[in-house]
Every structure is written in C-alpha cells, then in structure tokens.
Amino acid sequence: MKIAIIGAGAMGGSFAEGLLKGSIFNPSDITIANPHKDKLQRFSNLGANTTTNNIEAIKDADIIAIVVKPWLVEQVINEIKDSIDYNHQIIINMAAAIKADTLFSWLDKNGQKPVLFQVIPNIAIAQKASMTFIVPCGASHKQTSIVKEVFDDLGKSLITDETHLGAGTTLASCGIAYAMRYVRAASEGGVELGFKADIAKEIVLQTLKGAVELLQTTGMHPETAIDQVTTPGGLTIKGLNTMEKNGFSNAVIEGLKAGLK
Ligand SMILES: NC(=O)c1ccc[n+]([C@@H]2O[C@H](COP(=O)([O-])OP(=O)(O)OC[C@H]3O[C@@H](n4cnc5c(N)ncnc54)[C@H](OP(=O)(O)O)[C@@H]3O)[C@@H](O)[C@H]2O)c1
C-alpha cells in the first residue's frame, strides 16, 4: 500500500514522521509533497519520496492525504482532481471545518465522486500517540478498516460522524494545546515552589503520565482516583478547592466550548 501526503507543515509533517516510525508503510511507499523543498529534506533522508509536484506525488498512491490550510484545499483539489482515479484511490482530508458535501462538490467529476475520509488527528501523531477522529464518507467497511488500521498504528482512533468532528477537534486536536498549557502552568508553579524549570517540567510530565496510566489501567473515574489521594482536612483537597475557587474546571469547560464556536 502506498500513501501520498500533500502539505508538509505542522500536521502533514507530523503525519509523515509518524508513518515513517509506523509498521504499515515502508518508507519507499510514502510520498510527501510540499511547495518549499526545505521542509522535505528530513523525510527524504529517512527514505521517503519527496516532491514539489502534487500530481507527481499522487501517482500510484492508494491513499491521498490533503493536509494544507483549509483555504487552500479547493485549489489543491482543482490541481490534482483530473489525475485521481476515483475507482482505486482513497482521499483523506485533514483540513478542519470543511464539510464533506463541500469537498464532494469540489471533487465532482461529471457526477463521479471518490471515497472520502474526514480525518482529524493531533500533532502527537509524530510520536504515534495521536487521538484521531475518522469520518468515512461513502466508504465500504473494508476501506474504513484499512484507514482505521493506519491511524490505530499512530495512536488511537475513533470512527465517528461529521456532527461530532468539531467536538472531537476541540477536545483532542486543540486539546493537546490545552494539555500543554496545564504542563506550563504546573511547571511555573513548581519553579515558584523551588524547583529548577527543567526539573519542574519533568516532575509534571511524569505525574501526568502516572495519572493517565492509572486511569487507563484501572478504568477508574478521575473523581474516584482523587478520593484516594485526598485525606479529609489534608493538603490535596485544600489545593484542589483553591484551584476550583479560581475557576479551574469552569475555565477548562468554557475553553473547550469556545474552541467549538
Ligand atoms: N496543526 C494541527 O494540530 C492540526 C490538527 C488537525 C488538523 N489540522 C489541519 O491540517 C491542515 C494543515 O495545518 P498545518 O498546521 O499543518 O498548517 P501548516 O503548518 O501551515 O502546513 C501547511 C503546509 O501546506 C503546504 N502547502 C501550501 N500550499 C500547498 C500546495 N498548493 N500544495 C502542497 N502543499 C502546500 C505549506 O507549504 P509552505 O509553507 O512550504 O508554503 C505547508 O508546509 C489544516 O487544514 C488544519 O486544519 C491541523
């Protein structure tokens, strides 16, 4: 199986990086296209094919992933449309907030439409640790399981519908930035408490890793886990209640909702 990635920016580059670490594609089965050559060098060093020509990139690809900014998607589709074989090639759109109906209207070739997947990963895909949402549009079960297998190899994936894609994007794709902000805030707190910045960051990261592993291994609700570490009248509950008094949960929920507007 061969894949072409159009756009080697933050997301396209992370996707390529993950694929090159993954077990589904050989490096020689991955082609990455980008207008500026400088972004491509690191991928050709790892054995992938690279090009500045989008039409050349999609030749022989079983999967074509469009990973350019949303306002450039129509232009890219117009450029490559006539070179896509709708009977054999699957299209993945990673650009956020473009409806499948709009994509199909751009992709229409005299009434012929391709198999399309709307896919939203997050940048942890580079480390094979993405949370990826997949919306199949006109795909068979077999095609859906092929695409799911690709993204399961790069973290976790969830097949969903278009109405949940925005919420998924906010929770996991923007969400990674929200998680980073927690790491920054906790690390800065750690410095005020007396640790050097890099040590404070390592402590916060290991603590978060521990929290995630605890919840994933036990299936516990976070509040149940919190009950296990809060001694009545103790310091942890005082810390938590002070965070809540300053709007912690509310800030997170309102931030997530703002990311959906
Ligand atoms: N970043 C995320 O966390 C994230 C998460 C989910 C979805 N997405 C989606 O992914 C898409 C890309 O976002 P990004 O953050 O990766 O943006 P980005 O860093 O700006 O990358 C876009 C890339 O597309 C290239 N490009 C521009 N015109 C092109 C063309 N005609 N043909 C081929 N490549 C072209 C750009 O090349 P030059 O810069 O060299 O001109 C750039 O390398 C967006 O639509 C976004 O909604 C991003």
Residues 254 and 180 in one domain: yes
Query: Is the beta carbon of 32 within 6 A of some atom in ligand 1?
Result: no
Residues 38 and 121 in one domain: yes
47 in Cβ contact with 21 (< 8 Å): no
- Interval between CA 235 and ligand 1 midpoint (Å): 46
Domain assignment present for 170: no
What are the distances in angstroms from CA 208 to CA 150, 171, 260, 261?
Answer: 27, 17, 25, 29
**Which protein residue has the closest C-alpha to ligand 1 atom 2?**
11
How far is it, in rounded angstroms, from Cα 170 to Cα 175? 6
**Which protein residue has the closest C-alpha to ligand 1 atom 18?**
9
Residue 242: which domain range? 175-258
**CATH code at 151?**
3.40.50.720
Residues 70 and 132 in one domain: yes
How would you write the pLDDT of the chain (261 residues) with one tens digit per residue? 999 999 999 999 999 999 999 999 999 999 999 999 999 999 999 999 999 999 999 999 999 999 999 999 999 999 999 999 999 999 999 999 999 999 999 999 999 999 999 999 999 999 999 999 999 999 999 999 999 999 999 999 999 999 999 999 999 999 999 999 999 999 999 999 999 999 999 999 999 999 999 999 999 999 999 999 999 999 999 999 999 999 999 999 999 999 887
Give the closest residue to 31 by CA, choosing from 11, 53, 22, 134: 53
Domain assignment present for 26: yes
Residues 27 and 94 in one domain: yes
Last residue of a domain, one of 95, 128, 161: 161
Structural domains counted in the chain: 2
Query: Is the beta carbon of 37 within 6 A of some atom in ligand 1?
Result: no
Domain assignment present for 92: yes
Query: Is the beta carbon of 11 within 6 A of some atom in ligand 1?
Result: yes
Residues 103 and 201 in one domain: no
- Interval between CA 243 and ligand 1 midpoint (Å): 37
Q: What percent of the chain has pLDDT over 90?
A: 99
Residues 145 and 239 in one domain: no
